[in-house]
Amino acid sequence: MKKVILAYSGGLDTSYCVKYFTAALGYEVHAVSVNTGGFSPEEIAQNKEKALALGASSYTNIDAITTFYDTVVKYLIFGNVLKNNSYPLSVSAERIVQAIEIAKFAQSKQADAIAHGSTGAGNDQVRFDMTFQTLVPELEIITPIRDEGLSRKQEIEYLQSHGIDWSWKKAQYSINQGLWGSSVGGAQTLTSHLTLPEDAYPSQLQQQGTETVTIGFTKGEPTSLNGTEGIPVQVIEQLQALASTYAIGRGMHVGDTIIGIKGRVGFEAAAPLVILEAHRTLEKHTLSKWQLQHKENIALWYGTHLHEGLYLEPVMRDFEAFLESSQQQATGIVEVKLHPYRFEVVGITSDYDLMQSKVASYGEENQGWTAAEAKGFIKILSNQGKIIQAVGD
């Protein structure tokens, strides 16, 4: 029997794939899920039960939360990456790591083929296929939902014909949860003028008033919350649990898909948005003018390449090297005030704060130059403007 590794979510599409591969194609199916922060132990157990009931030879859930942080999320923080200045790349960042882990698993199993349940209408088909073609080019990629243009009705009827008569009622809202935020899709996200209702989001408002928290960063990485130290993944998860009770981090993202059409999705990312803004503020105090300027451009390209499925492109390692190098003095404590539906960064404390300069204080006195030197500097700085004016109309 040929062996196929299936990227398995437990939904209708991948359930169809398991039954189709076993019943129609005669494959030995190994279903694999990759946990980048969204699976509970109960969901993992349910996925295993369903996969085996459908005919899979095995089910494996790969814990890649730490891998996800170390290889992707860390650099999104270093770069303060927000797609279109709003969306923290919650899903696209996950898919790359999931694809890489599944490719590695396929190699370890000496598989003949690798498969996923993507349709032909979204970004994930590109991210999965490009990763598989790069890492395991010898493996056939099978995508029956895309290749056969199957509808939900056709998939359900096929499963029923093989004795699988589970409830496949489509949820009103589709939610993908992970370490770096959740995406929310629904009827409203298919329009350009409607917004998601309150109850569509994974977290609901539970807190009133305000609460002040402190986030500690060590060389750009979040390493403490309210004075308690922890590894970055723990800090992110703890801050998410806290800030989500204030319904912070909601938004609607509109962007250009890899396949050239516009896409719209809701998201909830309390911890990512708070951490990114806190980190951005810390950098304003501790990095040089030119570090900030060039880092902004590199971070934009890093996020764009990641979104487009180009994580394995060598230039990404170059971007990461620059981003990591820029963080040598991004160490300190940032104070953030949480409010219902919003937050504000209050200020920072850092041994590397460049506002501590003994040379001068902005708008106040200075000790590093004289008034005559300041006037001479300004005169020379004005030269180009004077020349342009003199030769212009």
| Residue ending a domain, choose from 131, 161, 191 | 161
Amino acid at 370: T
- Antiparallel, parallel or unpaired: β 228-229 and 3-7: unpaired
C-alpha torsion angle, residues 182, 141, 33, 73 (rounded to 10): -50
Indicate whether 337 pLDDT > 90.
yes
Other beta carbons within 10 angstroms of residue 74's beta carbon come to: 19
* Count of domains observed in the chain: 2
Backbone φ and ψ for 287, nearest 5 degrees, come out as -105, 160
Q: Are 309 and 126 in contact (CB under 8 A)?
A: yes
Residue 257 maps to a domain: yes
The range of the structural domain enclosing residue 227 comes to 176-287+326-349
Residue 303 maps to a domain: no
pLDDT at 331: 98
pTM: 0.94
Give the domain CATH number at 48.
Answer: 3.40.50.620
Q: What is the mean pLDDT of residues 240-251?
A: 97
Give the domain CATH number at 268.
Answer: 3.90.1260.10
Residue 45 maps to a domain: yes
- Antiparallel, parallel or unpaired: β 250-256 and 262-268: antiparallel
Average pLDDT over the chain, rounded to whole?
A: 95
Based on the domain organization, do 117 and 221 belong to the same domain?
no
Based on the domain organization, do 104 and 218 belong to the same domain?
no
Based on the domain organization, do 36 and 155 belong to the same domain?
yes
Based on the domain organization, do 203 and 143 belong to the same domain?
no
Distances (CA, A) of 153 to 156, 169, 190, 326: 5, 11, 20, 52
pLDDT at 360: 66
Based on the domain organization, do 39 and 146 belong to the same domain?
yes
pLDDT at 281: 98
Helix (H, G, I), strand (E, B) or coil at 182: strand
Residue 64 maps to a domain: yes
Based on the domain organization, do 98 and 228 belong to the same domain?
no
Distances (CA, A) of 95 to 36, 102, 127, 130: 9, 10, 7, 11
Residue 228 maps to a domain: yes
- The C-alpha atoms of residue 173 and residue 189 are separated, in whole angstroms, by 10
Based on the domain organization, do 102 and 8 belong to the same domain?
yes
Residue 171 maps to a domain: no
Q: How would residue 310 be classed by pLDDT, with cut points 50, 70 and 90? A: very high
Backbone φ and ψ for 145, nearest 5 degrees, come out as -65, -45
User: What is the per-residue burial (b if ≥16 Cβ within 10 Å, else e) of 214-243?
Assistant: bbbbeebbbbbbeeeeeebbebbbbbbebb
User: What is the per-residue burial (b if ≥16 Cβ within 10 Å, else e) of 124-143?
Assistant: bbbbbbbbbebbbeebebbb
Distances (CA, A) of 276 to 81, 106, 234, 270, 385: 8, 35, 16, 10, 38
Based on the domain organization, do 146 and 191 belong to the same domain?
no
Based on the domain organization, do 209 and 143 belong to the same domain?
no
Residue 201 maps to a domain: yes
pLDDT single digits (tens) 73-125? 999 999 999 999 999 999 889 999 999 999 999 999 999 999 999 999 899 99
Based on the domain organization, do 9 and 142 belong to the same domain?
yes
Indicate whether 359 pLDDT > 70.
no
Based on the domain organization, do 79 and 18 belong to the same domain?
yes
The pair of structure tokens assigned to 102 is 């599944």
pLDDT single digits (tens) 187-211? 999 999 999 999 999 999 999 999 9
Indicate whether 2 pLDDT > 70.
yes
Based on the domain organization, do 125 and 27 belong to the same domain?
yes
Residue 295 maps to a domain: no
pLDDT at 393: 65
